[in-house]
């Protein structure tokens, strides 16, 4: 695992090369590493989880905590399924999770989007 100080130092050096106009080195050496880093983080945040919120009707209120097909199709039960992030730390968030949204916004800003 990389040392966080070393990563911060590398990022600062990349930023400096970019700001000083050393674009050839930045384009050939830094940009591919930055893309790989972003892709590695995005690979850990995928819309693969599922969570269910159930408000049971009076008929289904008692009994097992298992959600049955009968409950899902019951017109009086309120059953909401939502897609969640695969990453366990994001399990309570809907999709896209906060990490994925933050990266998406940063990439979009680079294209001139707000």
Asked whether residue 51 falls in the same domain as residue 39, the answer is no
Q: How many domains does the chain have?
A: 2
Asked whether residue 26 falls in the same domain as residue 73, the answer is no
Q: What is the mean pLDDT of the chain?
A: 82
| Each residue's pLDDT tens digit, 19-61 | 888 888 888 889 899 999 999 988 888 887 677 778 888 888 7
The 3 state secondary structure assigned to the chain is CCCHHHHHHHHHHHHHHHHCCCHHHHHHHHHHHHHHHHHHHHHCCCCCEEEEEEECCCCCCCCCCCCCHHHHHCCCCEEEEEEECCCHHHCCCECCCHHHHHHHHHHHHHCCCC
pTM score > 0.75 for this model?
no
Where in the sequence is the domain holding 98, given as residue range(s)?
46-114
- pLDDT of 64: 65
């Amino acid at each position: 695992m990389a040392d966080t100080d070393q990563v911060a130092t590398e990022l600062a050096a990349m930023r400096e090369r970019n700001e000083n106009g050393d674009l050839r080195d930045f384009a050939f050496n830094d940009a591919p590493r930055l893309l790989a880093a972003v892709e590695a983080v995005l690979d850990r945040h995928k819309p693969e989880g599922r969570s269910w919120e159930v408000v049971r009707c009076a008929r289904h209120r008692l009994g097992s905590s298992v959600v049955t097909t009968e409950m899902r199709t019951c017109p009086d039960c309120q059953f909401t399924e939502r897609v969640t992030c695969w990453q366990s730390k994001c399990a309570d968030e809907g999709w896209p999770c906060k990490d994925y949204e933050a990266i998406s916004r940063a990439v979009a800003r680079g294209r001139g989007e707000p």
